[in-house]
Amino acid sequence: MMTRKEIIDIAYKQLSIDYHSDINDFYSEKNVLTKRKMHPNQRKDLWQSCVFNMMSIQGKSVVSSKKELFSWIEKEILPKQANWIFDFYMLRKIDQKLKSIDYEIDQVLLHYLPDPERLKLDSTKQVTWFDEQEIQQFKGDSRFDEAFCFDPDAPDVLGVAYLNQNEIVGMAGVSRDSNYLYQMGVNIDEKYRHQGIGTMLVSQLTSRLLNMGIVPFYKTSISHVNSSNVAIKSGFFLAWVEVTSKKIK
């Protein structure tokens, strides 16, 4: 299984593509500003965010923006410590600036990566696995709208379910969101929540993926405490926080 360092190194490969930067920027302590460009191999989450993205990672900020925002970013964001760039007053400033060019903040999301030494594996629970073809049987099933996305641009490649009396009560899945990082999702039947099923499924899926040489990431809203707790209990650590933008409709 991969080490934590190997996982981080692979993540940096993908993030350097997403942010059009030199991979060494992610090992530096300096804040980074790059020109925003669309890349066919960037994470699918960023396809609509074509003007401004920003992350806080390892104590620094990395910003990818259109050239017209550079002078403002160099004055208002880069001189500040990354620890504080997601405070509300900064997000408000960013949103106001984006509105001046007919854009706005889209999402602010937490992104987690796995720590192999902290995975919570439970061999006492029997699970059922589904490969890329078998997952198609769940298309249109709203019970698994977080586990699977059924998007041809980010195909679902592996799923794992926990059954109670032949009924699926929990499902975790992963999609090929980019070249180096695959995105995870999980659904638990409301009657079976807070029993550790989500934690167990995410850990089982993560372990198998890492043994296959695949690095998964887990993302959630900054306000979704339950989802964050699943990630943390499953053996994930908070790797970066990211804000994306979208065109005002």
Domains and CATH numbers, the chain: 4-114+242-247 (no CATH), 116-238 (3.40.630.30)
pLDDT of residue 168: 96
Taking residues 131-149, what's their average pLDDT? 97
pTM metric for this prediction: 0.94
Taking residues 200-219, what's their average pLDDT? 96
Amino acid at residue number 135: I
pLDDT at position 200 over 70? yes
Residue 184, token pair as written in the block: 């995870």
pLDDT tens column, 156-190: 999 999 999 999 999 999 999 999 999 999 999 99
pLDDT of residue 121: 80
Nearest-5° angle of CA 203, CA 151, CA 19? 75
Task: Give the E-state strand segments of the chain in sequence order.
Answer: 32-35, 52-57, 60-65, 103-114, 127-131, 156-164, 167-175, 181-188, 215-221, 236-247
**Residue 33: CB atoms within 10 Å:** 19
230 sits in which H/E element:
helix 225-233
Residue 188 contacts by C-beta under 8 Å, 6 or more apart in sequence? 169, 170, 197, 198
Average pLDDT, the chain: 95
pLDDT at position 4 over 90? yes
CA separation for the pair 161, 169 (Å, rounded): 8
pLDDT tens column, 9-55: 999 999 999 999 999 999 999 999 999 988 889 999 898 899 999 99
Residue 4, token pair as written in the block: 């934590």
pLDDT tens column, 77-132: 999 999 999 999 999 999 999 999 999 999 999 999 999 999 978 776 789 999 99
